[in-house]
Amino acid sequence: MALADLAVAESVGGDIVTATLTIDRATAVLGGAGDVPFARFAVVLARARVQAADGRPQDAMATCQRLLMDKAALKAAPVEFRTSNYQLILALAGDLLRPPWESPVAMTRGNRAAASMVDDERTTYGRLSPERIPGLMDAADWYSLTAQISRGRAVLVEVIEVATDAYGARDARLAEPLLALGNTYLDEGKKPDEARQAFMRGLGLAYPADAESARYRASLHAALGDADVQFDAPGAGAAHYAAAWRELAGHPEWGPGGADAVFAAPVPLYLPVVPSPKVAVSNDLRGWVRPGPGPGTLSFIFTVRPDGRIDDLRLESWDGVAGAVPDRSTSAAQMGRARWRPRVAGGVPVAAEGQRQVVEWR
């Protein structure tokens, strides 16, 4: 166990060679000690962490999967160790979904880890135990990363139920899951009333007077503005953005400069961009581009207005889209439906010129 911990510390410090030698020593010691399932679990998990730190997510994932098949070690390991393995799988799956790996099995493995972690901790701790909250939030983050909105929302509802039971209906620890819950409706583009209800409940919590609380209150006000922009009530959004700015500007650890910095750049809320020429054709969006193989990119330049809409939209460039020529008028019409959180300066939403959005065709 001590060698396994040492190996992880060495890998975190960047000394992968020494960490690998240390974990090999731990494995040798374990082999001479007979069958010790819990120790075996700890050593194999440490090896996976060293592999991950070495930039080898595929090897690390295979090691984590081997642990899941070791029933004796799983049974012997405390829930904290099992949760650590699930959390590592989620982190690795997120990496493996991206280039250059783009693993076809990463999504499945991540989903299994998230579901297993939630079930394992529910069984071990009890349904309403607050010890489940970190694991539930990790599962919700995974579903958010992979755009599995309904699954993520179900987990967040469970987080809110557990936290309310443990801490009370107005405890500030509810702010994070309430903000995330409301944002699932914005991500989905549906049910604005449910989104606003979650944000308003978050604003009604009993916050301490610290910088983190000011940040959460600002985020909730800004999210209400986002809902107005996205669901076509842009005039009302300005008041919420101003309130968000004031939350930060009025706190001594943030101040007006800090508030301006937080809201300095526009944030995309809704981008109606189809993912590829093939999808454009299959969904009868032939005017977007003429179909052809990728990969490639399209680059747009525009101004984000104070109400979150865009002006002065131009198709700036396209690169590598073999056989797929952008139709400028139709692509402009599509991008013109985008909605953004505007830049806020001095508490007032202002125009932001020269914004760029790059669309990747893969």
Q: Got the DSSP string for 200-246?
A: HHHHTSB--SSHHHHHHHHHHHHHHHHHHHHTT-HHHHHHHHHHHHH
Per-residue pLDDT 10s for the chain (362 aa) are 565 565 455 555 666 667 566 666 766 665 544 456 888 888 889 889 999 999 999 999 999 999 999 998 888 899 999 999 999 999 999 999 988 888 889 999 999 999 999 999 999 999 999 999 999 999 999 999 999 999 999 999 999 999 999 999 999 999 999 999 999 999 998 999 999 999 999 999 999 999 999 999 999 999 999 999 999 787 789 999 999 999 999 999 999 999 999 999 999 998 775 544 444 444 444 444 444 455 566 778 899 999 999 898 887 776 654 455 555 555 666 777 889 999 999 999 999 999 988 766 55
| CATH 1.25.40.10 domain locations along the chain | 2-201
| CATH 3.30.2420.10 domain locations along the chain | 277-361
pTM here? 0.86
Q: For position 232, what pLDDT does the model report?
A: 79
Q: For position 233, what pLDDT does the model report?
A: 82
- At residue 346, what are phi and psi to the nearest 5 degrees? 65, 25
Rg (the chain; Cα; Å): 24
Q: Do residues 230 and 186 touch, judged by C-beta distance below 8 A?
A: yes
List the Cα angle 103/4/75 in 5-degree steps. Answer: 70
d(CA 362, CA 360): 6
Pick the CATH number of 277-361 from 3.30.2420.10, 1.10.10.10, 3.40.50.2300, 3.30.540.10: 3.30.2420.10
d(CA 240, CA 186): 16
Q: Do residues 227 and 179 touch, judged by C-beta distance below 8 A?
A: no
The crossing angle, in degrees rounded to 10, of helices 106-125 and 133-145 is 160
Superfamily holding 2-201? Tetratricopeptide repeat domain (1.25.40.10)
d(CA 143, CA 170): 26
Q: For position 93, what pLDDT does the model report?
A: 96
